[in-house]
């Protein structure tokens, strides 16, 4: 066999095994060393290829795609610093538990660590932030394709096993790098894969059932990969506990009207109030998903230290930053709603939460009639959404959603990068999310975060998309105005505000997107309702950092007046 034949056979087996294992998307950045695998991806039936020139953005694009599709995504780049650019997205995927198959092309052994160009030490390149890493052999005369298919099986299985996460394969190629496009490939057999599901012991079930009988109980739901099934709602209606629903729980939208009374979506505001907090202490808390975004909720639970704080988390790393969890049920959350729970009676505790919630939304509505700040604009924006994805930036945007996104039966799927909460890569994550389910996607993002990943827009030049980006431009690091540092004026603008004076109209022109600049609620609503003719629309909302902090506090003061200090 010629070298080209062996190479073709190797990369064909590679992509074939991937598709067999359930991978249907590959994100590729241009490069030379990765040529054989890039060709094989283009050729492979059942594999859609997405392209992005900036590898950092490519990583986050793959992350969004994997997150929204629920399937592992292949991420391919050439050798050298290209691979190092994947690192931020890999770290995020590791903590957010998103399955990625990261494939880095490499030089053969004789070109490693000898000063050859674009050759860096790629062995275990991503350290502790991948679940598994392997250095594959080169295509060779005695191609062990059976071994290759099993290693790919293990890679994908590992990425998909809870807690899900990224896996790294390093693949060396020797020149020449061209494959034979006519050569056919027939697999000699792949590994069939069956995965067992985690089930709780009778003892654990007994503990949960006993806990669920308590009246003053809270069900806290953190990020969920998709909307919960109908059986969850049967369970929740029997339980009659208030459900504190994080923005990413997928419970604040797509929730039928008859179930909405169970959802408490205003806890972030209510738990800033001392009277409310002392009146509302729970006996027990059960949490599924990671810790919610809300700092007031976290602080509340840390202060109360409930006698029972049970977390259902499939990983030994149960995510308990306050050291208050008392019971760790290391199993799938679905074990909870499959419990044989009897119908509980109507709960006064739930009613207390509902009363607080009603009050908050009444005050918030009034506030939004008379004031103008980022929160007010955010609430108006959320009111316009339906049948779409909403990708939410870190820092202020996720907090705006937490405060102002009221539970609805409209069809909105929400996503954010909460593994490491970085402001980086958010634009690309949004494009990846859009590519997964092809729905119209809204990205709600701050100006620094948008600027950080403006290269995410390159994706829109290389594949179809349907995106509206709402950039809250307060010219710098808005969130820092809420931190204690802001009391110290010295160096504040230099180190934290970092105003760049940049506006994004020119970025919109460069990427040939639609653009609107708005300052008022009505302008924002008009911009959102104007029919979109291009694949991307950018709406830049100009707000004032100092004013945001001030009027934001007005609402909390009103709430305090009503609830008592």
- CA 228 to the chain's CA centroid: 17
* Residue 281 CB, nearest approach to a second copy (Å): 23
- Nearest residue (CB) to a second copy, 298 versus 560: 298
Give, in degrees to the nearest 5, the angle at Cα 23 between 21 and 27.
150
Edge-to-edge strand ranges of the sheet holding 48-51: 48-51, 25-28, 73-77, 100-106, 166-172, 132-135
- Nearest residue (CB) to a second copy, 40 versus 336: 40
- Nearest residue (CB) to a second copy, 89 versus 388: 89
* Residue 184 CB, nearest approach to a second copy (Å): 16
Give the Cα separation of 97 and 551 in Å (integer).
37
- Nearest residue (CB) to a second copy, 161 versus 421: 421
* Residue 111 CB, nearest approach to a second copy (Å): 6
Alpha helical stretches, state H, 405-452:
426-437, 447-452
18: phi then psi, degrees, rounded to nearest 5: -60, -50
Give the Cα separation of 105 and 29 in Å (integer).
11
**Beta strand spans in 258-408 (E):** 263-264, 284-288, 308-312, 327-329, 388-392
Cβ–Cβ < 8 Å for 513, 537: yes
Contacts of 371 by beta carbon, 8 Å cutoff, 6+ apart: 551, 554, 555
- Nearest residue (CB) to a second copy, 236 versus 540: 540
* Residue 81 CB, nearest approach to a second copy (Å): 4
Contacts of 278 by beta carbon, 8 Å cutoff, 6+ apart: none
* Residue 496 CB, nearest approach to a second copy (Å): 6
SS (H, E, C) 110-129: HHCCCCCCCCCCCCCCCHHH
460: phi then psi, degrees, rounded to nearest 5: -70, -15
- Nearest residue (CB) to a second copy, 145 versus 458: 458
- Nearest residue (CB) to a second copy, 126 versus 349: 126
* Residue 284 CB, nearest approach to a second copy (Å): 20
| Structure letter (DSSP) for residue 181 | T
Cβ–Cβ < 8 Å for 255, 279: no
- Nearest residue (CB) to a second copy, 111 versus 263: 111
* Residue 37 CB, nearest approach to a second copy (Å): 10
- Nearest residue (CB) to a second copy, 138 versus 324: 324
* Residue 162 CB, nearest approach to a second copy (Å): 15
The β-bridge partners of 166 are: 100
- Three-state DSSP at 563 gives helix
271: phi then psi, degrees, rounded to nearest 5: -80, 10
* Residue 423 CB, nearest approach to a second copy (Å): 8
* Residue 78 CB, nearest approach to a second copy (Å): 10
- Nearest residue (CB) to a second copy, 364 versus 472: 472
Element (DSSP H or E) covering residue 65: helix 55-69
């Amino acid at each position: 066999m010629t070298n080209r034949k062996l190479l073709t056979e190797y990369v064909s087996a590679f992509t074939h095994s991937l598709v067999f294992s359930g991978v249907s998307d590959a994100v590729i950045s241009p490069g030379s060393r990765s040529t054989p695998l890039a060709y094989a991806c283009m050729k492979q039936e059942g594999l859609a290829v997405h392209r992005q020139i900036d590898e950092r953005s490519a990583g986050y694009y793959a992350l969004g795609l994997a997150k929204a599709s629920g399937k592992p995504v292949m991420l391919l780049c050439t050798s050298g610093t290209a691979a190092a650019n994947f690192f931020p997205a890999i770290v995020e995927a590791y903590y957010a538990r998103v399955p990625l198959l990261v494939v880095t092309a490499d030089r053969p052994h004789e070109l490693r660590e000898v000063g050859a160009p674009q050759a860096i030490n790629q062995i275990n390149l991503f350290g502790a932030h991948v679940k598994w890493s392997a250095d594959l052999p080169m295509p060779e005369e005695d191609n062990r394709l059976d071994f290759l298919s099993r290693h790919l099986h293990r890679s994908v299985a590992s990425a998909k096993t809870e807690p899900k996460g990224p896996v790294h394969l390093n693949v060396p190629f020797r020149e020449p790098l061209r494959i034979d496009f006519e050569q056919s490939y027939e697999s000699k057999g792949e590994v069939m894969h069956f995965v067992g599901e985690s089930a709780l012991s009778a003892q654990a079930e007994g503990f949960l059932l006993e806990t669920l009988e308590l009246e003053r109980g809270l069900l806290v739901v953190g990020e969920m990969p998709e909307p919960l099934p109908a059986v969850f709602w049967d369970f929740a209606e029997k339980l009659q506990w208030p459900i504190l629903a994080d923005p990413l729980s997928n419970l604040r939208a797509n929730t039928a009207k008859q179930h909405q009374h169970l959802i408490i979506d205003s806890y972030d505001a209510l738990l800033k109030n001392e009277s409310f907090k002392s009146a509302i202490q729970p006996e027990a808390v059960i949490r599924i998903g990671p810790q919610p975004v809300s700092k007031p909720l976290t602080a509340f639970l840390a202060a109360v230290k409930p006698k029972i704080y049970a977390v259902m988390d499939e990983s030994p790393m149960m995510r308990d930053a306050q050291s208050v969890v008392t019971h760790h049920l290391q199993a799938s959350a679905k074990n909870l709603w499959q419990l044989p729970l009897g119908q509980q009676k109507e709960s006064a505790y739930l009613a207390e939460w509902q009363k607080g919630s009603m009050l908050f939304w009444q005050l918030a509505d009034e506030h939004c009639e008379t004031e103008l700040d980022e929160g007010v604009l955010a609430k108006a924006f959320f009111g316009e959404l339906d049948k779409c994805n909403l990708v939410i930036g870190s820092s202020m945007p996720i907090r705006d959603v937490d405060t102002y996104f009221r539970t609805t039966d409209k069809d909105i799927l929400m996503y954010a990068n909460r593994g490491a909460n970085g402001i980086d890569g958010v634009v690309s994550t949004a494009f990846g999310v859009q590519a997964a389910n092809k729905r119209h996607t809204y990205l709600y993002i701050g100006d620094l975060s948008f600027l950080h990943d403006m290269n995410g827009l390159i994706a829109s030049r290389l594949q179809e998309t349907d995106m509206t980006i709402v950039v809250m431009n307060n010219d710098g690091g808005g969130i820092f105005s809420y931190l204690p540092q802001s009391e110290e004026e010295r160096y504040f603008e230099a180190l934290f505000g970092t105003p760049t004076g940049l506006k994004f109209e020119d970025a919109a022109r460069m990427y040939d997107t639609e653009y609107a600049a708005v300052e008022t609620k009505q302008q924002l609503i008009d911009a959102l309702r104007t029919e979109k003719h291009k694949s991307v629309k950018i709406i830049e909302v100009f707000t004032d950092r100092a004013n945001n902090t001030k009027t934001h506090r007005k609402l909390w003061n009103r709430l305090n007046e009503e609830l008592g200090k």
